[in-house]
């Protein structure tokens, strides 16, 4: 996707989607596992795309069909694969241009992860079992 499209995707849009993703992750039975799955999917456009389709279905059901997780333009940009690793035929032993650059999609996925962490921190993320433990000790 062209660089101008990447620049048009504002951080506020990423924060909005991150809030939705944080809601999905927190409502998962295994929140830590869901966060790990999300983090692991960032490196692969295909894995990330599959996860976003799954999360989009969850979000659509969670909102009763009133809202979508993200628009098609952002989904398209985030699903852009990272450049393939390897050297160009004339550059033996040297790094190729593709090796030193990261795609807009990969950078976007990383930005989205940072925004998800931000959203989780603002919603007071607690590991499984902590809330129940503090309530039984009279702290909560």
Helices marked H in 9-129: 11-26, 31-41, 45-62, 72-78, 97-100, 104-122
d(CA 37, CA 53): 14
Instruction: Report pLDDT digits (tens) over 50-66.
Output: 999 999 999 999 999 99
Q: Which two tokens stand for residue 107?
A: 């950078």
pLDDT tens digits, one per residue of 91-107: 444 444 444 467 888 99
In the chain, where are the structural domains located?
Answer: 16-24+31-77+101-126
Sign of CA dihedral 75, 69, 123, 140: negative
Give the list of residues 6+ apart from residue 126 with CB closer than 8 angstroms, or none: none
pTM recorded for the entire structure: 0.72
Distance CA 68, CA 120 (A): 20
Q: What is the distance between the terminal CA atoms of the chain, rounded to a whole angstrom?
A: 48
Tens digits of residue pLDDT in 4-61:
454 555 899 999 999 999 999 999 899 889 999 999 999 889 999 999 999 999 999 9
pLDDT of residue 103: 82
Q: Are 26 and 119 in contact (CB under 8 A)?
A: no
């Amino acid at each position: 996707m062209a660089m101008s499209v990447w620049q048009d995707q504002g951080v506020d849009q990423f924060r909005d989607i991150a809030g939705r993703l944080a809601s999905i992750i927190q409502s998962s039975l295994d929140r830590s596992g869901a966060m790990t799955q999300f983090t692991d999917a960032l490196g692969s456009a295909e894995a990330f795309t599959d996860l976003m389709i799954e999360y989009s279905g969850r979000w659509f059901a969670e909102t009763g069909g009133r809202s979508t997780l993200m628009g098609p333009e952002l989904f398209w940009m985030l699903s852009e694969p990272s450049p393939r690793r390897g050297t160009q035929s004339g550059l033996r032993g040297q790094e190729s241009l593709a090796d030193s650059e990261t795609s807009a999609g990969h950078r976007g996925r990383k930005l989205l992860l940072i925004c998800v962490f931000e959203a989780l921190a603002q919603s007071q993320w607690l590991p499984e079992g902590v809330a129940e433990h503090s309530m039984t000790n009279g702290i909560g």
